[in-house]
Amino acid sequence: MFKKGLAANFTSPHELIKAARQVHKQGIKHFDVFTPYPIHGLDEAMDIKSSHIPWFSLIFGLIGAAAGLYFQWWTSVADWKLNIGGKPHFALPAFIPVTFECGVLFAAFATFIALFYFCKLPKFESIFEKDTHALKATDDQFMIFIEASDAAFNEHRLREIFNKHHAENIRWVE
Amino acid sequence: MNVQTIEKIELVLGKKDRKTITELISKPLDCFPSKKWFLLFSFTASIATLGFLCIGWTIYKGIGVWGNNNPVGWAFDITNFVFWIGIGHAGTLISAILFLFRQRWRTAINRAAEAMTIFAVMCAGIFPLIHVGRPWFAYWLFPLPNEMKIWVNFRSPLLWDVFAVSTYFIVSFLFWYIGLIPDLATLRDRTTNPIKKVAYSILSLGWRSSQRSWKQYETAYLIFAAISTPLVLSVHSIVSFDFATSIIPGWHTTIFPPYFVAGAIFGGFAMVLLLLVATRKVFQWEDFITITHLENMNKVLLTAGMLVGYAYSVEFFTAWYSANDYEFFAFKNRAFGPYAWTYWTMIFCNVLSPQLFWFKRFRTSIPVMIVVAILVTIGMWFERFVIIVTSLHRDFLPSSWGMYTPTIFDFGILAGSLGLFFTLYLIFVRLLPAVSMSEIKGVMPGAHPKGEVNDV
């Protein structure tokens, strides 16, 4: 995903958000912020769009429910009719529970798969693997990474932003 | 904007920084298990083995080795099934419903509770499987194409159960796994052991905790919470349909779905409480599974206890008010018949014992909550026993009345399921972080520059 770029660590979420906002204002598109927990307000500072996952959940949930209902109709009415206690072959009220469960099951699988699709996971190699400072971003520190190939990349200006917000270990990662 | 904050609760005590949290939570995974752990583990694993021996004997001889006989065809097996499914529901309540209600104190307890859900559903799944008598034909429960050309009966509540429980297990597992991914990445990044590194790398799927991923992650998590909530309510409602759609007096009641759901939450919370009181003590996690957390759980226990108490009384009232002799007899027989002692055990454990929690002194006392949680767990098991056995043993015709006596194999399999449950939990706390590190870090003071708007 990421190739080569400039990274800086932060210890305070306050400084991090300010720096992220500044970086975004520079017009940089290919950058990301790494945090041990999701910080409220950071996505606005970085201008990240809402996720599309809910659409997948909804559509697949509906498909699942429809498929469940259709399958019950097909097995009980079309493929092999069985008279059980004189109950109607197409007993809609009795089909609701299984229809609902199928909808939930499909929605859950769709959400699960969509999450990894949008996060571009699983992915077992990363430029951050060897960088000891980057590993702190899953523990206690925050990191901003800006890809060098970005059109608005200006090392001097970025270092200025990082220094202004008390960043630590400003370095190149590749 | 005018934001009103209601009494701010410190969810993490003792002015900790994020690094200390990571270290405290991953400490049990880094060190070799203590002697006490091995002692406890061998004890629970032995009981589980005993249960499996009883199951093996049951499969070899047939379910005639149990006490089940006409007219009581469902007894310990289905009691245990409903008991375990109910315990599982507290985990989903904590992870999904409390999440939707923005109860941030859930962060410290949701991981362990969700793990408990998965183990409880595993234990529950054993019982219908062995009760079918020939478990090697258990796949007949699923609508698979077969040489007999017939399909499963979708009009039967027992089949709804198959779908509900298997969906519940899969969704709970996925939800739990999604919650684990950021923590697995943390473990991957801090471990120096090459074998652990490979294992955590594979399990964390290359998660790098980037904000762009967090955005997707939080959305997916919210959706999982939103679909798990109706799912958990549906599962125990469907379990109650097994009884409510039949015509047996004492079973054929419309109150069953909400009554079963309330009972499930009640019994499950008692079990979560027991596990967490022990876990926080052993791993010294008192600073983030605080007394406030336990007190909140006791409040839920009190509420749920009152709900089941209400259901017991409404059931009785309706039986009398319906003017149906059989229905009213079933309830009189529960309270004053040969199994009256089980009924009054249930009333004592479920309705009376949680009343202690009206007092803050008892809500915040560890010994009191342990005793009450054990009583509630026993009481909830007896509730299912009362519903199942007392309704079946005397229904319409006195000529077909009978008594039920469990055999040693019934008790063996019940004990075995408890052993299996605690064995799995003991393995879990040693292999995976039992408290969510990323979520705890998010509820620490000063974690969010913009402040917590919905901070309760």
> CB of B179 within 8 Å of any CB in chain A?
no
Residue B183 located in a structural domain:
yes
DSSP letter, residue A8: E
Q: Could you tell me which of B271, B277, B298 has the C-alpha nearest to residue B418?
A: B271
Residue A60 located in a structural domain:
yes
Angle made by CA atoms B433, B434, B438, in degrees to the nearest 5: 60
> CB of A132 within 8 Å of any CB in chain B?
no
Distance CA(B108)–CA(B298), nearest Å, equals: 15
Residue with tokens 């379910």: B63
pLDDT above 90 (res A112): yes
Q: Indicate whether A24 and A45 sit together in one domain.
A: yes
**What range defines the domain where residue B62 resides?**
18-442
Residue A127 located in a structural domain:
no
Query: What is the per-residue pLDDT for B6?
Result: 47
> CB of A42 within 8 Å of any CB in chain B?
yes
Distance CA(A86)–CA(B412), nearest Å, equals: 41
Residue B12 three-state SS = coil
Residue with tokens 């498909």: A63
DSSP letter, residue A39: P
What b/e readout covers B164-178, taking b as 16+ CB neighbours within 10 angstroms? Answer: bbbbbbbbbebbbeb
Distance CA(B182)–CA(B254), nearest Å, equals: 43
Q: Indicate whether A59 and A45 sit together in one domain.
A: no
Q: Which of residues 62-121 of A touch B (CB under 8 A)?
A: 71-72, 75-76, 79-80, 82, 84, 87, 91, 94-95, 97-98, 100-102, 104-105, 107-109, 111-112, 114-116, 118-119, 121
Hey, what amino acid is at B324? N
CB–CB of B211 and A48 under 8 A? yes
Q: What's the total number of domains in chain A?
A: 2
CA distance B138 to chain A (A): 19
Query: What is the per-residue pLDDT for A34?
Result: 92
Q: Indicate whether A64 and A107 sit together in one domain.
A: yes
Q: Indicate whether A104 and A61 sit together in one domain.
A: yes
Q: At B206, list the tokens.
A: 């290359």
Q: Indicate whether A42 and A58 sit together in one domain.
A: no
Q: Indicate whether A103 and A57 sit together in one domain.
A: yes
- Mean predicted confidence (pLDDT) in A20-26: 89
Distance CA(B215)–CA(A39), nearest Å, equals: 10
Residue B177 located in a structural domain:
yes
Q: HSE on the CB side for B160, CA within 13 Å?
A: 24
Residue A128 located in a structural domain:
no
Evaluate whether B390 touches B74 at the Cβ level (below 8 Å): no
Residue A143 located in a structural domain:
yes
Distance CA(B373)–CA(A98), nearest Å, equals: 34
Q: At B319, list the tokens.
A: 């039986």
Evaluate whether B266 touches B308 at the Cβ level (below 8 Å): yes
Residue B452 located in a structural domain:
no
Residue B316 located in a structural domain:
yes
Query: What is the per-residue pLDDT for B453?
Result: 47
Hey, what amino acid is at B178? I
Distance CA(A50)–CA(B254), nearest Å, equals: 43
Angle made by CA atoms A50, B110, B376, in degrees to the nearest 5: 145
Q: At B1, list the tokens.
A: 């904007």
From residue B178, how far is each of A113, B114, B171 by CA, in Å?
11, 11, 11
List CB contacts of A161: < 8 A, sequence separation 6 or more.
A19, A22, A23, A26
Asked if residue A122 has a cis previous peptide bond (ω within 30° of 0), the answer is yes
Distance CA(B197)–CA(B177), nearest Å, equals: 18
Task: Report pTM.
Answer: 0.93
Residue B455 located in a structural domain:
no
Evaluate whether A20 touches A45 at the Cβ level (below 8 Å): yes
Distance CA(A32)–CA(A164), nearest Å, equals: 19
Q: Which chain A residues are Cβ-neighbours of B207 within 8 angstroms?
A: 119, 121
Q: Indicate whether A26 and A73 sit together in one domain.
A: no
Residue B5 located in a structural domain:
no
Residue B9 located in a structural domain:
no
Residue B244 located in a structural domain:
yes
Query: What is the per-residue pLDDT for B451?
Result: 61
**What range defines the domain where residue A12 resides?**
5-50+138-173
From residue B403, how far is each of B82, B252, B327 by CA, in Å?
21, 21, 19
Asked if residue A13 has a cis previous peptide bond (ω within 30° of 0), the answer is no
Residue A148 located in a structural domain:
yes
DSSP letter, residue A143: E
Per-residue pLDDT of chain B (456 residues; tens, 9 = 90+): 455 444 566 777 877 888 888 888 888 888 888 898 999 999 999 999 999 999 999 999 999 999 998 899 999 999 999 999 999 998 888 889 888 988 888 888 999 999 999 999 999 999 999 999 899 988 888 998 888 888 999 999 999 999 999 999 999 999 999 999 999 999 998 888 899 999 999 999 989 888 999 999 999 999 999 999 999 999 999 999 999 999 999 999 999 999 999 999 999 999 999 999 999 898 888 888 889 899 999 999 999 999 999 999 999 999 999 999 999 999 999 999 999 999 999 999 999 999 999 999 999 999 999 999 999 999 999 999 999 999 999 989 999 899 999 999 999 999 999 999 999 999 999 999 999 999 888 888 778 776 654 443
Query: What is the per-residue pLDDT for A85?
Result: 86
Q: Is the dihedral of CA B158, B413, B94, B216 positive or negative?
A: negative
Last residue of a domain, one of A90, A118, A146: A118
**What CATH number corresponds to the domain at position B362?**
1.20.1630.10
What is the spatial order of strands in the sheet that A142-147 belongs to?
A31-34, A142-147, A5-10, A168-173
List CB contacts of A69: < 8 A, sequence separation 6 or more.
A95, A99, A102
Hey, what amino acid is at B97? I
DSSP letters along B39-69, please?
A: HHHHHHHHHHHHHHHHHHHHHHH-GGGSS-B
Task: Mutate one of B30, B147, B154, B178 to test the A interface: name it (highest A CB count within 10 A).
Answer: B154
Q: What's the total number of domains in chain B?
A: 1
Evaluate whether A118 touches B224 at the Cβ level (below 8 Å): no
Cα dihedral B419, B422, B428, B431 in deg (nearest 10): -70
Task: Mutate one of B200, B210, B247 to test the A interface: name it (highest A CB count within 10 A).
Answer: B210
**What CATH number corresponds to the domain at position A22?**
3.30.70
Residue A132 located in a structural domain:
no
